[in-house]
A and B are shown apart, each in its own frame.
Chain A
């Protein structure tokens, strides 16, 4: 099947945007990240507190959610960041059950896998999909490096970097590239994807491994790279939060840029661009 451009009846041009391997690894990765996030919250429920360094300083967490009883004996949820406290009853620390009662539970059931408290189950899901994510990611990386696609598509050109200010301005006004420019990623996309592929995801894997007593015996310096095992755990959580933020922006951008076209391109590979008048001439 040819991947040459295909004109459509309404004057647009279908271009082959994403090869099969990219589409497949994208969706496998999406599933993995969803399961890892939800099972990660299940694991976190067992001890929803973060520390810096090698060990836990239980009375002085850096970040924590918890529960307690108020003056009337009612269960309240609490959030703590350093010296800052907030009442988060209803969604963190203490959540509303399907029966309407407030009960002590770090996260709402819909956010965790499984929805009931079971650390062993959460770990089972987490490690299976961690392996899947790593193998899927390696497939994507190796194929992208061998074919040269990663360098071609993801590394911003000098010209793109020089005009980054303009790109940010255009993005803020929700003016997305059109015509021939839409054939490739714009500079902000490239930088965001590179930060995820080359930064956040590898950090997730390394900080995850740094929490394994077995891996730490093999590489004594591994937790130390992040400032200790508890720091590695905290960074693991912060990177996961950054990935959630990326996901939100990613989906908002897809919705703004044309969800049908964007989704089709990540399912079939074909992306429609509208040739600009000056390009037609």
Chain B
């Protein structure tokens, strides 16, 4: 093969590789392709939903399995004066608001939460990135709190609003929030954890309370929870996909 032909071939191959990368990228950004791919998410959610039901428990581990280095991901110290003040006085004035589509809105202090029906569990935390850690969690079961607040029939989701801003935006769409279904909120292992490994929940892990939703990936388990609202749709929250990370492309269903 002559040199010019070899150069031509090399050029063609490089060009082809570049073309296929950009073609793949274009495919990946096409709304129609994404709708098709999302079909698999719906299928996964339906199949796992049917298999799991409401009460199947996530695996729990012995104390010996607890990780020595539990990674704190996302925000590790919310950057607001209000939150810093809460930290400074030990969350004495902090209140968890439960409102929206409920009959009896609640405003709960940390002491109220500690007095509420609780659950302690040693579970594995699986991050969407791929890593896992095991810790012991104690917290107020969300189910009994919601029974007290009494959801209205039109409540289809629970939105958790958090104290941390992961991305600075003018319109507040960078504030962390998550949405879950009532079925998952009433699951026996779903708790608002105020203790981690027998100590008050550290700031890095979401003080004063974080959600534990044990059959889902980590991004569902909102940290620094300030307010819970029962809602009928999440279309008007954030960018409309049902969570901070969902707004940035993660799947709403996080069981896989």
Contact = CB atoms under 8 A, between A and B. Distances in A.
Contacts of A120: 245, 248-251
Interface string B110-150: 00000000000000101111111110000000000000000
25 contacts: A46-B129, A46-B130, A47-B131, A54-B65, A54-B124, A55-B132, A55-B134, A56-B131, A110-B20, A113-B28, A114-B29, A124-B34, A124-B38, A127-B37, A127-B40, A127-B41, A128-B36, A212-B48, A213-B215, A214-B52, A215-B256, A216-B58, A217-B58, A218-B51, A229-B124
Contacts of A131: 40, 43-44
B8 interface: no
A128 B48 CA distance: 15
Contacts of B34: 124
Interface residues of B, number: 52
A217 B59 contact: yes
B217 interface: yes
A46 B20 CA distance: 22
Nearest to B48: A214
Max count, chain B CB within 10 A of own CB: residue among A59, A113, A123: A123
A220 B69 contact: no
Interface string A112-125: 01111011110111
Contact of A123 (B29, B58, B251): B251
Contact of B250 (A51, A119, A217): A119
Interface of B: 17-18, 20-22, 24-25, 28-29, 34, 36-41, 43-44, 48, 51-52, 56-59, 61, 65, 67, 69, 71, 124, 126-134, 214-217, 245, 248-251, 254-256
A175 B215 CA distance: 54
By size class, the interface of chain A is 35 or more
A130 B37 CA distance: 11
A98 interface: yes
Contacts of A235: none
A43 interface: yes
B39 to A, nearest CB: 7
3 closest Cβ pairs, A-B complex: A214-B255, A120-B249, A114-B28
